[in-house]
Amino acid sequence: MNLIKRNTVPFPSLIDELLKPDWLGGIQNFSTNVPAVNIKETDTSFGIELAAPGKKKEDFNIEIDHNVLTIFSENKSESEETEGKYTRREFSYSSFRRAFTLPESVNTENINATYENGVLHVALPKREEALPKPKRLIEIG
């Protein structure tokens, strides 16, 4: 199974470090974070485990297009506090996108996903013809 990473910064800059939430009175870091992924294969399926704590299952979108499975999420929030003559507004935005090229052996009609304890589990069953065949004896005639 091939993995295509997106939204990564190959060389983070000093400016990125300065704009972390601890600096400049709480300015949010607007860079995107790509969640960690485990991929496993068994005789009958592939499995993807994507670590995304703090999200809800409604926060995820999963698509298949031209044998590429894409998992993405986007969250926006805004808050406003008014005290006397002062108003404080905060905006937050986070997103990620992970894409995986699926092998031909995956049965794309029976893919399913669950989200539990901060981990998105995607089950990719193999096609019947891709499953291992049991051993058989061949008689010598």
Q: How far is CA 81 from the centre of its chain?
A: 33
Domain that holds residue 37: 2-128
Q: Residue 132: which of 47, 44, 45 has the closest Cα?
A: 44
Q: Check which CATH number belongs to the domain holding 26 and give it.
A: 2.60.40.790
Domain count across the chain:
1
pTM: 0.65
Backbone angles phi, psi at 97, to 5 degrees: -150, 125
Least confident stretch, 27-36, 50-59, 73-82, 104-113: 27-36
Answer whether residue 139 is part of any domain.
Answer: no
Least confident stretch, 29-33, 76-80, 104-108, 109-113: 29-33
Q: What is the pLDDT of residue 84?
A: 79
Answer whether residue 110 is part of any domain.
Answer: yes
pLDDT at 125 over 90: yes
Q: What percent of the chain has pLDDT over 90?
A: 45
For residues 5 and 34, what is the distance between their CA atoms, to the nearest angstrom?
Answer: 8
pLDDT at 16 over 80: no
Q: What is the pLDDT of residue 68?
A: 93
pLDDT at 27 over 50: no
Residue 127 parent element (H or E): none
Answer whether residue 73 is part of any domain.
Answer: yes
Answer whether residue 123 is part of any domain.
Answer: yes
